[in-house]
Amino acid sequence: MTNRSETAPLLAAAPPPLSPRVIRREVVIVLLVSLGASAIWSIVDIIGTLTEPGGLADSVQSMNTAQAEAERPWYDLTRQLVRLALAMAPVALALHFLSLDRGNPFRLIGLDTRRPGFDLLGGTALAACIGIPGLGLYFTARALGLNAEIAAANLHDVWWAIPILVLAALKNAVIEEVIGVGYLVTRLRQLAWSPLAVIAAHALLRGSYHFYQGFGGFIGNVVMGAVFAACFLKWKRTGPLVVAHTLLDIAAFVGYLLVAPHVSWL
Q: How far apart are CA 246 and CA 107, in angstroms?
A: 20
DSSP 212: G
Write down the mean pLDDT value for the chain: 93
Q: How far apart are CA 94 and CA 104, in angstroms?
A: 12
Task: Note the pLDDT tens digit of each residue in 101-139.
Answer: 889 999 999 999 999 999 999 999 999 999 999 999 999
Task: Note the pLDDT tens digit of each residue in 79-92.
Answer: 999 999 999 999 99
Strand boundaries in 59-173, DSSP class E: 60-62, 149-151
Mean pLDDT of the region 158-163: 95
* pLDDT interval class at 265 (50, 70, 90): low
Flag the least confident range among 8-17, 189-198, 199-208, 230-239.
8-17
pLDDT > 60? residue 142: yes
Flag the least confident range among 2-11, 14-23, 238-247.
2-11
Q: Please list the alpha-helical segments (H only) found in the chain.
A: 4-7, 20-32, 35-50, 73-86, 89-102, 105-108, 116-143, 161-174, 184-190, 195-208, 215-235, 239-259
- Name 154's bridge partners: 65
Q: What is the structure's pLDDT at 70?
A: 87
DSSP 244: H
* pLDDT interval class at 3 (50, 70, 90): low
Mean pLDDT of the region 167-196: 98
CA distances from 174 to 80, 91, 118, 243 (A): 17, 8, 18, 9
Q: What is the structure's pLDDT at 261?
A: 75
**CB neighbour class for 70 (10 Å; exposed up to 12, middle 13-18, buried from 19):** exposed
**CB neighbour class for 105 (10 Å; exposed up to 12, middle 13-18, buried from 19):** buried
Sorted by sequence, the CB contacts under 8 Å of residue 102 that are 6+ apart come out as 108, 186
Q: What percent of the chain has pLDDT over 90?
A: 85
Task: Note the pLDDT tens digit of each residue in 13-58.
Answer: 566 788 999 999 999 999 999 999 999 999 999 999 999 999 998 9
Q: What is the structure's pLDDT at 8?
A: 47
pLDDT > 80? residue 67: yes
* pLDDT interval class at 260 (50, 70, 90): confident
Entry pTM: 0.91
Angle at 218 between CA 217 and CA 222, to 5 degrees: 115
- Name 147's bridge partners: 214
CA distances from 167 to 106, 135, 138 (A): 20, 22, 24
DSSP 257: H
